[in-house]
């Protein structure tokens, strides 16, 4: 049954001559799982918001949007509970101070009776496993819990359609796949119609019924996932957002059915490639003699009563090296960077930057021509009202970055996309002319294309001799970028190695490509590694020639 139908929808923001959306027509059946993808600025979010009456942006809307065969623009048609909408940022969507109140909020708004609310909340809290933190303050929750709460607070109103606008872009990969799994469960168990956009499609594409690709406000294609992903090979900006199996399929020029997840990808490899030459020649690990950043037996806690966040943490990063610290959320990675950058002082242990104790850098000399830090929330870097003012002293650095900064100069920094924000903030901290750059979750909230651009920038910085230390939980990004990686767990680095060895030694905390090629090829960590190996081992009887 058709639940949502869009007919010849066009939309233009006020004052803009070109249409953001052009001739959009499609229909969605009840119970479908639709993945909407496209490069940043293609109109994904605008389209999603147009479907939700309460969130429709101001502008010129033409065409019709029918929900259950009724035009949603009709005044008396109330879709506030029938169409649920979950947005990107976990924090700002939460309205009230406690978990239970947040769950009740929507039901209070539609004037439901107290007893009925109590029942609904009890149901939803049990289903989502919220009961154990029902009484908590929302400020005590983790990012993943907050986003699950946002989902539950929408689901409590029993919507027929759930729209999700990049819901996991601020979450770590574990929380992100938990979240996607919950959405999948809702879709399968309640035949809830889901329309979702995402930056990271690794988990989403395999479970979608249909995939829609938008490009510059038009529908490029809309159909079965394996059909769509095999069509988009030209648009390379999109390819990097796809699951690793899809990327590999395209990299080796695959034909026939496109694999979507790790399991299919493994079958695809075994079917088409031999395991005869199993490893790539690796460069020997050499490092400079001088140490750029050294942490020696560092202990730190935020206050007397709290437990140690850093517990015997030691780290040595050599000059000119790119070092990634990986680990799960809340393990203290960010705190470790805070200590390295002199924001916090450890209660025991030494932190040295270029052989000099951080405490001995007086009057900001640490932050001039020496060390720069790009925080997780890049918005905290911005002080001015336009990007132009923001980059006044950093134009030189901004010009070197591989993106067109002039287009953004008159915009407010908060109006940029995630990727643009990241790059502008990076240009700004680079104007401190650092020798060592610290990055905290640099890939949080940015799309795949920006991620690839960022990896190129880090490589360019390395070529200029700049040491880069980053913390992340994005294993794919680390595999693409890092020289060495360290695994951070319970307040210290428990193992470290050069990137390839690091990921091929790990069983769970590793890239999808590595999981795909486990025990078949060794040291294949990135898509390009694997493609290179595959091309050496083509099976005669396979489909790849």
Partner 1 sequence: MRTFKDSNPIAVTLYFLFVTGITMFLFDPILNGISFLGALIFSLVCGDGRDNKKHLLCLVLFVATALINPLVSHNGVTVLFFINDNPITLESLLYGCSNAFMLVSVLYWFSCFSCLMDSDKLLYVFGSFSPKAALVFSMALRYIPLFGDRSKKIRATQKTMGLYKDGNILDMIRGRVREFSIMTTWALEKGIITADSMSARGYGQGRRTRFTNFRFYLCDVILLILSSVLAVFVIMSAVKHDFVFYPAIVAPKMSLISVIGYVSYGVLVLIPTINEWKEEIRWRYLRSKI
Question: Which range touches partner 1 (CB under 8 A), out of 58-66, 215-223, 272-280, 341-349?
Answer: 341-349
Sequence-distant (6+) residues with CB within 8 A of 181 are: 203
Please provide the distance, in angstroms rounded to a whole number, between the alpha carbons at the two ends of the chain.
Answer: 43
* CB-CB neighbours of 379 under 10 Å: 11
* Interface pattern 282-321 for partner 1 (x via CB under 8 A): ----------------------------------------
Q: Which is nearer to partner 1, 195 or 524 (CB)?
A: 195
Within 62-101, the residues that bind partner 1 by CB under 8 A are 78, 80-81, 84-85, 87, 89, 91-98, 100-101
Point out which span in 150-158, 181-189, 495-503, 522-530 binds partner 1 (CB under 8 A): 150-158
3-state secondary structure 21-83: EEEEEEEEECCCEEEEECCCCCCHHHHHHHHCHHHCCCCEEEEEEEECCEECCCCCCCCCCCE
Under the binding rule (CB under 8 A), the answer on residue 360 touching partner 1 is: no
Stretch that binds partner 1, among 241-249, 261-269, 381-389, 466-474 (CB under 8 A): 381-389
Establish if 343 lies at the interface with partner 1 (CB under 8 A): yes
Closest to 164 in 3D by CA, of 37, 22, 284, 276: 37
Q: Is 432 in the site for partner 1 (CB under 8 A)?
A: yes
Residue 329 sits in the site that holds partner 1 (CB under 8 A): no
- Residue 222 falls in which region: left (phi positive, over 0), alpha (psi -120 to 50) or beta: beta
- At 299 the three-state DSSP class reads strand
Q: Is 108 in the site for partner 1 (CB under 8 A)?
A: yes
From the list 260, 362, 327, the residue with the least C-alpha distance to 496 is: 327
Q: Is 132 in the site for partner 1 (CB under 8 A)?
A: no
What's the CA gap between 465 and 538, in Å, rounded?
A: 39
Name the one range near partner 1 by CB under 8 A: 19-27, 398-406, 427-435, 529-537: 427-435
- CB atoms under 10 Å from CB of 361, counted, come to 17
Cβ 152 to partner 1, closest distance in Å?
A: 12
Distance CA 280, CA 336 (A): 34
Size, binding site for partner 1 by CB under 8 A? 66
Using rule CB under 8 A, residue 379 touches partner 1 = yes
Nearer to partner 1, 114 or 356 (CB): 114
398: which 2 tokens?
């901004």
| Residue with the two structure tokens 């050496």 | 536
Residue of 43, 47, 50, 52 that binds partner 1 (CB under 8 A): 52
Pick 2 or 54: Cβ nearer partner 1 = 54
CA pair distance 381, 253, nearest whole angstrom = 43
User: Is position 338 an interface residue for partner 1 (rule: CB under 8 A)?
Assistant: yes
Indicate which single residue of 25, 27, 73, 109 sits in contact with partner 1 (rule: CB under 8 A): 109
d(CA 287, CA 459): 16
Candidate residues 27, 131, 139, 282; the one interacting with partner 1 per rule CB under 8 A: 139
State yes or no: residue 367 binds partner 1 (CB under 8 A): yes
Q: Which residue has the tokens 């450890």?
A: 346
Q: Alpha-carbon distance 94 to 102, whole Å?
A: 7
- For partner 1, the binding residues (CB under 8 A) are 52, 54-55, 78, 80-81, 84-85, 87, 89, 91-98, 100-101, 104-114, 117-118, 121, 135, 137-139, 150, 153-154, 157, 338, 341-343, 362-364, 366-368, 371-373, 375, 377, 379-383, 414, 428-429, 432
């Amino acid at each position: 049954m058709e639940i949502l139908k869009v007919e010849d929808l066009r939309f233009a923001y006020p004052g803009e001559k070109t249409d953001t959306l052009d001739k959009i027509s499609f229909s969605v059946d009840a119970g479908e799982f639709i993945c909407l993808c496209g490069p940043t600025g293609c109109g994904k979010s605008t389209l999603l918001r147009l479907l939700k009456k309460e969130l429709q942006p101001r502008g010129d809307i033409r065409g019709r949007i029918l929900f259950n065969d009724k035009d949603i623009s009709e005044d008396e048609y109330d879709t506030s509970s029938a169409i649920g909408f979950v947005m990107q940022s976990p924090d700002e969507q939460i309205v009230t101070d406690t978990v239970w109140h947040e769950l009740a909020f929507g039901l209070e708004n539609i004037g439901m009776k107290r007893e009925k609310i109590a029942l609904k909340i009890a149901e939803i809290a049990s289903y989502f496993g919220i009961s154990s933190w029902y009484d908590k303050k929302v400020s005590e929750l983790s990012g993943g819990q907050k986003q699950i709460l946002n989902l539950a607070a929408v689901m409590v109103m029993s919507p027929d359609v759930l729209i999700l606008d990049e819901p996991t872009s601020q979450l770590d990969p574990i929380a992100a796949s938990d979240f996607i799994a919950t959405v999948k469960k809702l879709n399968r168990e309640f035949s809830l119609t889901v329309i979702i956009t995402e930056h990271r499609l690794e988990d989403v594409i395999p479970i979608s019924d249909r995939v829609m690709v938008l490009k510059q406000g038009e529908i490029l294609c809309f159909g079965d996932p394996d059909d769509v992903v095999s069509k988009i090979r030209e648009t390379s900006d999109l390819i990097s957002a796809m699951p690793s199996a899809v990327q590999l399929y395209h990299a080796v020029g695959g034909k026939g059915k496109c694999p979507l997840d790790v399991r299919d990808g493994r079958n695809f490899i075994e079917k088409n490639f031999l395991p005869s030459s199993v490893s790539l020649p690796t460069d020997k690990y050499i490092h400079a003699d001088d140490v750029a950043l050294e942490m020696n037996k560092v202990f730190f806690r935020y206050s007397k009563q709290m437990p140690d966040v850093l517990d015997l943490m030691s780290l040595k990063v050599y000059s000119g090296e790119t070092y990634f610290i990986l680990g799960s959320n809340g393990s203290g990675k960010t705190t470790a960077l805070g200590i390295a950058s002199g924001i916090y002082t450890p209660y025991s242990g030494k932190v040295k930057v270029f052989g000099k104790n951080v405490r001995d850098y007086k009057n900001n000399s640490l932050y001039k021509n020496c060390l720069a830090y790009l925080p997780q929330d890049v918005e905290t870097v911005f002080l001015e009202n336009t990007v132009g003012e923001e980059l006044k002293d950093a134009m030189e650095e901004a010009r070197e970055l591989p993106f067109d900064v002039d287009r953004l100069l008159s915009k407010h920094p908060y109006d940029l996309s995630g990727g643009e924000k990241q790059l502008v903030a990076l240009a700004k901290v680079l104007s401190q002319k650092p020798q060592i750059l610290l990055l905290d979750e640099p890939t949080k909230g940015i799309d795949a294309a920006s991620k690839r651009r960022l990896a190129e920038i880090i490589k360019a910085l390395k070529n200029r001799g700049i040491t880069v230390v980053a913390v992340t939980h994005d294993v794919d990004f680390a595999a693409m970028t890092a020289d060495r990686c360290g695994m951070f767990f319970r307040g210290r680095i428990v193992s470290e190695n050069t990137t390839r060895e690091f990921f091929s030694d790990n069983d769970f905390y590793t890239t999808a490509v590595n999981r795909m090629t486990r025990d078949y090829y060794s040291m294949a960590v990135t898509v390009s590694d694997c493609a290179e190996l595959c091309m050496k081992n083509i099976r005669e009887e396979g489909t790849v020639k």
